A and B are shown apart, each in its own frame.
Chain A
Amino acid sequence: MAELEQRGDRTPAPAKWEYASAPESREIVNLQERYGLFVGGEFIEPRSGEYYRTLDPSSEEPLAEIPQAGAEDVALAVRTARDAFEDGWSAAAPAERAKYLYRIARILQERSREFAVLESLNGGKPIRESRDVDLPLAAAHFFYYAGWADKLEYAFPHRRPKSLGVAGQIIPWNFPLLMLAWKIAPALAAGNTVVLKPAETTPLSALLFCDVLRQAELPPGVVNIITGDGATGAALVKSDVDKIAFTGSTEVGKAIQRELAGTGKKLTLELGGKAANIIFDDCALDQAVEGIVNGIYFNQGHVCCAGSRLLVQESIYEPLIEKLKRRLTTLRVGDPLDKNTDVGAINSRQQLEKIEELVAAGKEEGAEIYQPPCRLPEKGYWFIPTVFTNVAQSYRIAQEEIFGPVLSVLTFRTPDEAIEKANNTPYGLSAGVWTEKGSRILWMAQRLEAGVIWANTYNRFDPASPFGGYKESGFGREGGRHGLEPYLDFDGAEAFGG
C-alpha cells in the first residue's frame, strides 16, 4: 500500500500482481461420504430415503451426500426437540445451561481451524475470512449468550421471562456456521430446544457442529440438525414448533409470514437488503475506498447487509471512482483456501445465474460497467468484482438485491438528497456513512431508515450489537440483550405498572 501511495494517485496499479500460492491444507478436515440427520443426539438415516450431493463451489467437486429430510423426518426432529424440552432441558438450572454454552464456545475456539477450512471448502468463501471473521464471531456469540442464560430476569425486569419450547430455525448459505451461532446461542440461553435447518448448499459446518455438541455433552435432542432444500424448510415452518426464526430472502420471508398468519407463533425474519454506503467529500478517502470494498466484495457480496448502493458526494466522485477502480485491480479472486485470496467462489450455480441476469439487466438499462482484468479458474462458480456507474435509481441493479460482488454507484449533492436516495427502497437493513464529522454521522444515522448504521466502517459484527432490519428487511433483532426477546415468553407484563 505504501508503495502505491508513492506512485501518486494517478498511476495505475501494475496489471499483474505476482503472489506465490499459499494454500491452507485440507488435511485437517475429515469428510464422511454420507451424512445423516442429527436427531436426538445421533445421526440417523432419513425416512425419506433421499440424499443429495453437496459441492465445493470453487471446483464443483462433490464433497459428500446429504440427507434430504422429508416431512416425516421434520416431524420426528420436532417431536424429539419437544421431548428434550419437556424431559429436562426446560427444568435445567439456568447456570448449567450457561455452562453448556460456554463449553460450546470453547470447543469452537479449539477447533476453529478445522471449521474455517470446512466453511471455505463448502461455501467458497476465502479462508482468510472464515478464519478471521466467521469462526471468531461464532465462538464469541456462544460465549456472549452463555452469560445471559442465568441472568434473564435482569434482561427483562418485571416480565417474568420463560422459555418458549421448540424453536425452528432456518439459516442461509452465506455465513453457515455464524448464522447457526446467531440462531442457536440465544435459543438455548433462553431455555428452548432447537430444530435447525442449514442451507441446502452449505450443510457441512452444521453437521460438524454436531460433533461439538457431542463433545460438550449437550443432552440429546436439545439441538437437532436436519438438512434439505426449501421443501424441508417449508415443512419445518408448518410443523409443531413454537417459534420460527428465518434468515434469507424477503420473498421467502413473506411466504413464511403468510404461512404463520393467525397461528400466534412467534416469528423473526432477517431478510434482504439494498444498503446505501454514503461517502461525503470530507471523508478519509483511502479509508473509505477500503470500506467500500469491504462493504460489497466481502464474502463475494453474499451479505444481506452488503453496501451494494454506493452514494458518492458529487465533489469527490471522480477521484473516488478512480481510486476504487484501481483498488479493484488488486483484488485477488480465486482459490478460497489460498490465504492470499480476497474474493472466493460464488456459492452456487443458481446464485451465479442470478448475478449474471441482474448484471445483464444493468448493462441493458444503460449503466456503465467496470470489471478489472482478472483470470478466473476454469472450474467452479466465479464472478469478477464489478462496478456499475451511471446508475439511475430506477434501474434494477439499484433496486433489487443482487447478493453478489456487484456495486451500483449513484451520486448526491446534499445530505438531504443522500437521505432521500438511501431511504428510497423497500429494504432497511443497514447503511454506511463516511465522514470525518461526528455530528454529521449522528445526523445521518437519525434519518436513515435502517436497523444497523456503520460510520467509517462497514460489515462489522459483534455479539453484543443488535442486528436486524426496518421495513421489508424483516423484524426482530439478533445479538445483544434484544436478541433474547424473540426466544422468550413474558407472562409478567400484565402485573406490572397497572
Chain B
Amino acid sequence: MSRLPVKKTYKLYIGGSFPRSESGRTYEAEGQNVARASRKDVRDAVRVAGAAQPNWAAMTAYNRGQVLYRVAEMLEARTREFAELTGDEAEVHAAVDRFVWYAGWADKLAQVLGSANPVAGPYFNFTVPEPTGVVGVLVPDEPALLGLVSRLAPVLVGGNAAVVVASESRPLAAIELAEVLATSDVPGGVVNLLTGFRSELAPVLAAHMDVNALDVTGADGDVPELERLAADNVKRIVRGSVDVQSPWEIAGFLELKTVWHPMGL
C-alpha cells in the first residue's frame, strides 16, 4: 500500500499564529477547505496589526530591508510548492525578485521621497516619509501569488502593518505565503492574512476606524460603497497596479512629515 500523504489544514494568519476562524466556518476553494474568516477575525487582525506596527516602523530601515530580503530567501526556497499552486514557475521567480526589489527600497525611500526645504527663515526644514499605520489590502485574484506580493511588499517596506483579505477564489497562495512570512523574522502581527468572502470582510475593513489606508486594487463588487465607508475616518484610498513595481506604489501608503528645526547659537 502506497503512503498516504499528510494534508495541510489551511488556516488564517493573525498575530503570527495560525488560528481557525473564530466562527468555525470554512469554504472550499482550489479543492481545499479554507478558513472563512468572520467580522470578528477582521477586528482581531486590525487590533494586533495596530499593536505590531509601531515596533515594525521603529526598526532601522536597514533592518527592515533585511527582513524583507529574508522573505525573498524563504520564498525562493519554496519555489516548487508555489509553482505547483500557481502552475507558473516564472510567476514565483517574479514574486521573489519583487520582494528583493522592494527590500532594497527600505533605506532609500526617505532620500527619494523626502526633501530638505529652503524656507525663508533660520530653520532647518525637512520632510520625511512615514508609514500611515495599518493598511487594509484587498488582494486581486490574478496573478495569485505575484498580485499578492505586488500589493503587500510596498505596504510593508514603508513600515506599515497589513490586514490582507486574500483572493476569494485563489486563496492558497496567501496561506502559503503566511508560512513564508512566519519563518522570515517579520514580527507577528505585521502581516495578517484572512481568507473568506470578500463581500463579507471588505466592508468591515473599509469601515474600521483603526485602519488608516485601504488598498482597493483587488476589490470587486461595490467598490464605491467601500470608499464611502472608508471616508468615516478619512482613510487613504489606494488604487494601485496588479503587476508593477514602483516607489510610487510605496508612496501611497506613506504620510509626509515636515519639521521646522530652529537654527541659531
Contacts and interface: CB of A to CB of B under 8 A. Distances in A.
A464 interface: yes
A392 B239 CA distance: 41
Interface string A291-306: 0000000000000000
B8 interface: no
A253 B258 contact: no
Interface in B107-151: 115, 117-121, 123, 125, 127, 132
Given A453-B257, A468-B256, A482 B248 contact: no
Contacts of B257: 445, 450-453, 470
Contacts of B223: 262
Contact of A480 (B115, B121, B225, B228): B115
Given A462-B117, A471-B233, A497-B245, 9 more contacts: A254-B231, A258-B231, A261-B224, A426-B233, A451-B255, A453-B259, A457-B123, A471-B212, A493-B249
A464 B246 contact: no
B24 interface: no
- Complex A-B, nearest 3 residue pairs according to Cβ-Cβ distance, in ascending order: A262-B224, A261-B227, A257-B231
A490 B256 contact: no
B246 A271 contact: no
A493 B248 contact: yes
A253 B234 CA distance: 8
Given A262-B224, A462-B117, A455 B262 contact: yes
Contacts of B256: 451, 466, 468, 477, 482
A497 B246 contact: yes
A309 interface: no
B14 to A, nearest CB: 24
B245 A498 contact: yes
B63 interface: no
B60 to A, nearest CB: 13
Interface residues of A, number: 51
A460 interface: yes
Interface string A454-469: 1111001010111110
Given A261-B225, A480-B115, A462 B120 contact: yes
Contacts of B228: 258, 261-262
Given A253-B234, A254-B232, A262-B224, A494 B115 contact: no
Contact of B262 (A255, A426, A452, A457): A457
Contact of A261 (B231, B255, B258): B231
A494 B245 CA distance: 8
Contacts of A263: 224
B187 interface: no
B260 A465 contact: yes
B77 interface: no
B261 interface: yes
Contacts of A473: 234
B70 interface: no
Given A254-B232, A462-B119, A494-B241, A453 B246 contact: no
B136 to A, nearest CB: 15
A464 B123 CA distance: 12
Contacts of B245: 497-498
25 contacts: A260-B227, A261-B226, A261-B227, A261-B230, A262-B227, A262-B228, A264-B239, A441-B259, A442-B259, A445-B257, A451-B257, A453-B260, A454-B260, A462-B119, A462-B120, A462-B125, A465-B117, A465-B119, A465-B125, A474-B234, A475-B234, A480-B127, A482-B115, A494-B244, A496-B246
Contacts of B82: none
A490 B248 contact: yes
B147 to A, nearest CB: 15
Contacts of A255: 231
B118 A269 contact: no
B236 interface: yes
A460 B246 contact: no
Contacts of B212: 471
A481 interface: yes
A8 interface: no
Contacts of A260: 227
A254 B125 contact: no
B203 interface: no
A460 B123 contact: yes
A455 B260 contact: yes
B39 to A, nearest CB: 21
B121 A460 contact: yes
B117 A271 contact: no
Nearest to A441: B261
A471 B259 CA distance: 17
A497 B119 contact: no
Interface in A392-423: none
